Amino acid sequence: MKKVITSEKTAIKLWLDDMDSGAMAQVKNLANLPFVFRHVAVMPDAHQGYGMPIGGVMASEEMVIPNAVGVDIGCGMCAVRTSLTGLSAYKLKAVLTEIRRTIPLGFKHHDRGQDRRLMPKSEIPLEQLTVIAREYSSALTQLGTLGGGNHFIEIQKGNDGHVWLMVHSGSRNLGFKVANYYNRLAMELNRKWGSRIPPNWQLAFLPINSPAGQIYLHEMRFCVEFAYANRKMMMERVKDAILSVVQPVSFEPMINIAHNYAAMEEHFGKNVIVHRKGATRAQAGEIGIVPGSQGTPSYIVRGRGNKESFESCAHGAGRKMGRKQAQRQLDLDQEKKRLDEQGIIHAVRSVSDLEEAAGAYKDIDEVIDNQLDLVEVLEELRPLAVIKG
């Protein structure tokens, strides 16, 4: 931990030295909520989001905040270690071609719905899930699709000498629809109840024991499981792409972890709702993934179960520039050179791609160094080839 701020209603504990003013204002809003529990934890990759900073961890008593989960519910990482110890550039390009053929990227969906048996099972009758019941058929076409923004598929080389596969994606449009519906509902109900939380904080809440809060939690958990099913399907197709180019190859069990969700957990002797928005659970012994930006290492980590962070850690490098800012300020040739000199087959082609260039992100090694009390590094994975959404 780098710093503790005690000027607000509850303490703010930070695992970074400095943070942009917008994110700090949001953290202070969180710390002054009437139902916040114990303190607010801020991970080393934190930056401004909607309502709650990405990289924030907040526990609450009896309330859930849709904007403290975010719009890409269940977004997360998965990684698989292969038996391969190398791939030539020719074979890597052949694998990427097959991945692009079988996995829709960006805003693209499948032309037809995927197998319903691959979808999550609902905890309650599907027709009671307001948004998911309406969006279910559309979600079937989104299953096994990458999405845009910072979502990626990477082939990497670990310091263990093995080739690794990694996928970063979430709940696609399904999670977006659920998040927006319940944030709007929370705003309406908060106005009706005369909530004293300023609307411009963007932290409208739902009591977890209310009908709206209960249905949101069910829909949110469905989206978390949908995001997992989405990553799992893509990983199977990445493995198939590898096998279409080189055999034999064996694959170890998939590591999977989410970083946008809320869950009931026990902390400091009390059951509370822990909101992790752009933060990863890091319970003692739990294996996790902290990805870098395009062209920088990613890390397989093991949680230390640090109570002060609500057993959490960073979810990645974290942005230091907004998307438009990166397009304006970064040098395209310099960013391409940075990747080319490492021999990485990358996705930076034009100015529009600079929003996901390494220069738009914080230094991943500094992020890791700032949270060595939260996680232990097990493996460093360096990119060989990258597909961006």
- Contact call for residues 220 and 177 (beta carbons, < 8 A): no
| CATH code of the domain covering residue 344 | 3.90.1860.10
In a domain, 356, yes or no: no
Rounded CA-CA distance 275/261 in Å is 6
Q: What is the CA radius of gyration of the chain?
A: 20
Kindly report, residue by residue over 218-271, the tens digit of the pLDDT: 999 999 999 999 999 999 999 999 999 999 999 999 999 999 999 999 999 999
Q: What is the pLDDT of residue 339?
A: 87
Label residue 355 by pLDDT band (50, 70, 90): confident
Q: Is residue 74 part of a domain?
A: yes
pLDDT for res 238: 98
Is the pLDDT higher at 326 or at 13?
13
Quick check: is 47 catalytic?
no
User: Confidence band (pLDDT; 50, 70, 90) for 389?
Assistant: confident
Res. 358 pLDDT band, cuts 50 70 90: confident
Out of 120-134, 144-158, 326-340, 375-389, pick the least confident: 326-340
Is the predicted pLDDT of residue 13 greater than 90, yes or no? Answer: yes
pLDDT for residue 343: 87
Nearest Cα neighbor of 312 from 360, 270, 261 is 261
Helix, strand, coil distribution of the chain in percent, nearest 5: 35, 25, 35
**Residue 347: pLDDT over 80:** no
Both tokens of 296, joined, read 């920088």
Whether 355 maps to a domain, the answer reads no
What 3-state class would DSSP assign to 278? Answer: coil
Q: Domain for residue 361, yes or no?
A: no
Q: CA 221 to CA 173: how far, in whole Å? A: 15
What is the average pLDDT across 151-176?
A: 97
Which of 47, 168, 259, 315 is catalytic? The answer is 315
For the chain, percent of residues with pLDDT exceeding 70 = 100
Q: What tokens does 76 get? A: 């997360």
Range of the domain at 103: 3-349+366-388
Mean pLDDT of the chain: 95
pLDDT class for 3, splitting at 50, 70, 90?
Answer: very high
Question: Structurally, how many domains does the chain consist of?
Answer: 1
- Quick one: pLDDT at residue 335? 87
